[in-house]
Chain A
Amino acid sequence: MASSTHPITFRERVSRHLDILILFLILLALIIVASLLSDRFLSRLNIENLLVQSVGVGIAAFALCGVILTGGIDLSIGLNITVGNCIASHLFVQSLPLSLPLVLLTCTSAGLVNGLGITRLRLNPFIMTFGMMLILQGAALFLRPEPGGEIPVGFNSFLMGNLGPIPRPFLLLLVCFALSWVILKKTRLGTHIYAIGNNERSASLSGINIGRVKLFAYSFCGFLGGVGALFYSAQTLSGDPNLGLPITLDAITAVALGGVPLIGGRGGAVGVLFGIFIVTIISNILNLANVNTFYQYVIKGTILLVAVAATSRR
């Protein structure tokens, strides 16, 4: 490659991967701290546990990743998963082949509606998805006022359990990761998502159809929400209308920690994967150390704020 006048400097080379390097170091530090705090932490059981715990938040985080990269947000993602879960808890026992696509379709449409509201009605993404969150909460409570219902055990044994040494749900997360990575890095859609997050006007002047890209991002977010619903259904074997909000919060934290600023345009799937692990390990540490739920909320809220502040600078 011709690069005589402008060779890539060492600094630039480092800075390209600096975010990932920092995230790796944070993760490493957390693992060391955790293993010092509790000798159970590095046990096989706890590691498997950790991997499974990372799945729900992780899928939600990858769902959000594309949306946030365009400079948007989806506050309804947790409730989207909840509604999918509540539908599953009614219908999966009747006919899995019919109801499974229905769950994915419902969740995808909720995302699509978010996208339509934002692109066609020009609603602020925060308000649009906040409204959607409330609507979906209502729907979840209508479908399942109390936690309960039933998921066929066969579905559980299909999705849960191990494949070799690796928990199957974790493989599901890796599939979501791979899908996100390919879309963001290897397709034109991904390039357009970054372009919009960077400068919507320039992107539009360059001939990108802004509305279509955003519609895709929100619909894809909803679709991954449906995948998340499948996971939670298999894991809990029941429907729970109160599943949602903590998922949203953890997922936003994971994306922000992963180096995607809330104004979008920067960061990517690899960083978010690290963000997911960091959030999961912090939760795990707090549980292992028997920290009161009250403090857990305070600590998580603080981490969310710090993560957003750290990524929104520069």
Chain B
Amino acid sequence: MPEIRGIRPAGNGPQPGNGFVVEMEGISKEFPGTKALDGVSFRLRPGEIHALIGENGAGKSTLIKILGGIYRADQGRIRINGQAVDIRDPQTARRLGIGVVFQEFNLIPELSVVENLFLSLEKTRAGLFLRRREMIRAAAAVLEKVGLDIDPTRKVSAFSVAEQQLMEIAKAILTEARILILDEPTAVLAAPEVANLFRIMREFKAQGRALAFVSHRLDEVLEISDQVTVLKDGANAGSLPNENVSRNDLIRLMVGQEFKDIFFQGEKKTAGGVLLRVSNLWVGDKIRDVSFNVRAGEIVALGGLEGHGQQTVLEALFGLHRHRGQVELEGRPVRLSSPREALKQGIMMVTDDRKGEGLALDLSVLHNLGLLNHGRFTGWGGVINSSREKALAGGVIDRLGIKTPSLGQQVKFLSGGNQQKILVGRITYLPRVRLLLFKELTRGVDVGAKIEIYNQLHDMVKDLAAEARIGILFYSSDMLEILGLSDRIVGLYDGRVTAVLENKGLSEEKLMSEIIQGAGKAGGGTGAAGEAAPAG
């Protein structure tokens, strides 16, 4: 194993004013139920492109949001140009010369490009009237700088996502940001657009500005960055200069060495016939020609780095995206044009967004469990048979070990883990589920509850699979979860299937590199990342 060079222990780092524009030290941030950051340090030099990488949930976005004034750190110090600062809000961040381009853009689609670029920084006469012509001229100039040759008086909504990304960068240039932070800037870009973005980033760097960016695409990280900082589980896993660093080094830092043995390790049942056959699935250009099977009684995971299409595949199978290609369920082609259609076919999705999509937080445990199918306990005219309703709910609660003082408890008072169990428990109420889709099984669930959910879910899911001959397809950005729960793994990279692996003797590291390396073999001419690897 090659030694990983250049990991700086926090104490040995250069002292304040030692040529760092940004110094974040001992940053901690806690959200209800999760510790997002725990004593993280991050330093940025002028004229440097600094990549920030890590698995989903490692804390990259939280760190960036603290720097951008969206969140405030619970603990830790931030220095900008050697001065201790308190970044209270986005305005403060901007005054300090920090420009952040967030993953979810902050452009206002109904306003024109020029209005967006100058929003809250309008050039005015007497502090009141807009100097429109002047702003249009300045906008055109800055847009040209980022390679956009467009009429700035058009509405933002008329442009593609890639173009909007460049507008965001133009906006940051206009604020004369000395420190530019890009949160997954390449996630929405195709190869030529990535090349253009990199050109702009290098120009920035040449002007002595500091750049930090988050990416999940390691090729890009290796190509463009001078320094790489890796976060894992809300803590620093290392920071190293990009010299002779290999993908494997980065992967090892990202996933860590230890393989926690917290998963159910039962005997694998023999799977039945093919339940779901997906052939040549396309969703826009996000999912490209994806094919795979799920057999009855089998648990298949969609694996890979975050944002490479796993979620989109699941959502497409639940009828949430327009797609091309063929989907067969038990040998019959099905059209999945809406969730309603999917449910009719016996395809059910359990969401990761418990609060937004899944649960009625103010309703009781009882009512949340029964929400999907009152038919199971209603009599003539839709009148609820409450003893039957309670009996059913009680059974589910026992089986899943849901901790609640009573059936009447409002769901919002339960922990994240127990809320998740209620979502899972609903499946019992459905008459004929054939395919279960799980999105991010345990997002926002603390470790203790995670283990419980794994065990109990796995039991239940295996029971269900054995009884009803159903199949399960899930997606998680947690590689351990994928390894612990699945029978087979379909690896996605850049919207393509790059590996299909039986889950036998796989390590987290091996899995990641199979999926990413597979991209090199499978990647056609259109792959964004494949060609980007540095020559030397």
Contacts and interface: CB of A to CB of B under 8 A. Distances in A.
A186 B130 contact: yes
Interface centre among A2, A206, A208, A265 (most CB of B within 10 A): A206
Contact of A186 (B111, B129, B150, B153): B129
A202 B108 contact: yes
Nearest to A195: B108
Interface string B91-113: 10010000000100111111100
Contact of A194 (B107, B111, B151, B154): B111
B119 A203 contact: yes
Contacts of B143: 2
A203 B153 CA distance: 19
B119 A207 contact: yes
A6 interface: yes
Given A187-B130, A206-B120, A2 B140 contact: yes
B158 interface: yes
Contacts of A202: 105-108
B118 to A, nearest CB: 8
8 smallest beta-carbon distances between A and B, as pairs: A207-B120, A3-B151, A188-B122, A202-B106, A206-B119, A198-B108, A6-B150, A205-B106
Contacts of B91: 207
A164 interface: no
Contacts of B151: 1-3, 6-8
B114 to A, nearest CB: 10
A194 B111 CA distance: 8
Contacts of B136: 1
B90 interface: yes
A300 interface: no
A198 B111 contact: yes
A203 B91 CA distance: 11
A114 to B, nearest CB: 24
Interface of A: 1-8, 12, 186-189, 191-192, 194-195, 198-199, 201-208, 265-266
B70 A205 contact: yes
B150 A187 contact: no
B110 A191 contact: no
B110 A194 contact: yes
9 contacts: A2-B149, A2-B151, A3-B149, A6-B151, A6-B158, A12-B158, A191-B130, A206-B90, A207-B91
Interface residues of B, number: 34
Interface in B374-400: none
Contacts of B154: 6, 8, 12
B18 to A, nearest CB: 31
Given A4-B149, A8-B151, A191-B119, A207 B108 contact: no
B1 interface: no
A210 B109 CA distance: 18
Interface of B: 70, 90-91, 94, 102, 105-111, 115, 119-122, 124, 128-130, 132, 136, 140, 143-144, 149-154, 158-159
Given A186-B129, A188-B122, A3 B107 contact: no
A103 B105 CA distance: 45
Nearest to A194: B111
Contacts of B122: 188, 191
Given A195-B115, A207-B119, 19 more contacts: A1-B136, A1-B140, A1-B152, A3-B150, A6-B159, A12-B154, A191-B111, A191-B119, A191-B130, A194-B108, A194-B110, A198-B109, A203-B119, A204-B90, A205-B90, A205-B102, A205-B106, A206-B90, A207-B120
Contacts of A1: 136, 140, 151-153
A207 B121 contact: yes
Contacts of A208: 119-120
Contacts of B105: 202
Nearest to A191: B115
B175 to A, nearest CB: 9
A207 B95 CA distance: 10
A6 B136 CA distance: 16
B176 to A, nearest CB: 14
Contacts of A5: 149-150
A204 B91 CA distance: 9
A5 B150 CA distance: 6
A113 B70 CA distance: 29
A2 B150 contact: yes
A72 B115 CA distance: 22
B154 to A, nearest CB: 6
B68 to A, nearest CB: 8
B128 A188 contact: yes
Contacts of A187: 124, 128-130
Contacts of B153: 1
B95 to A, nearest CB: 9
In this complex, the member of A3, A186, A202, A265 whose beta carbon has the largest number of chain B beta carbons within 10 angstroms is A202
Contacts of A188: 120, 122, 124, 128, 130
A281 B109 CA distance: 35
Contacts of B150: 2-3, 5-6
Given A2-B149, A6-B154, A207 B94 contact: yes
Contacts of A6: 149-151, 154, 158-159
A195 B128 CA distance: 17
B142 to A, nearest CB: 12
Most chain B CB within a 10 A radius of its CB, from A3, A192, A199, A205: A205
Contacts of B94: 207
Contact of B110 (A4, A8, A198): A198
Contacts of A205: 70, 90, 102, 106
A195 B111 CA distance: 7
A8 B152 CA distance: 10
B108 A203 contact: yes
Nearest to B112: A191
A186 B108 CA distance: 18
Nearest to B115: A191
Nearest to B127: A188
Contacts of B129: 186-187
B101 to A, nearest CB: 11
A4 B151 CA distance: 9
Contacts of B119: 191-192, 195, 203, 206-208
A185 B102 CA distance: 28
A194 B159 CA distance: 19
B173 to A, nearest CB: 15
A187 to B, nearest CB: 5
A266 B109 CA distance: 11
A206 B108 CA distance: 10
A206 B156 CA distance: 15
A191 B120 CA distance: 9
Among A12, A191, A194, A203, find the residue whose CB has the most chain B CB atoms closer than 10 A: A191
B195 to A, nearest CB: 17
B72 to A, nearest CB: 15
A198 B156 CA distance: 12
A189 B119 CA distance: 10
A119 to B, nearest CB: 16
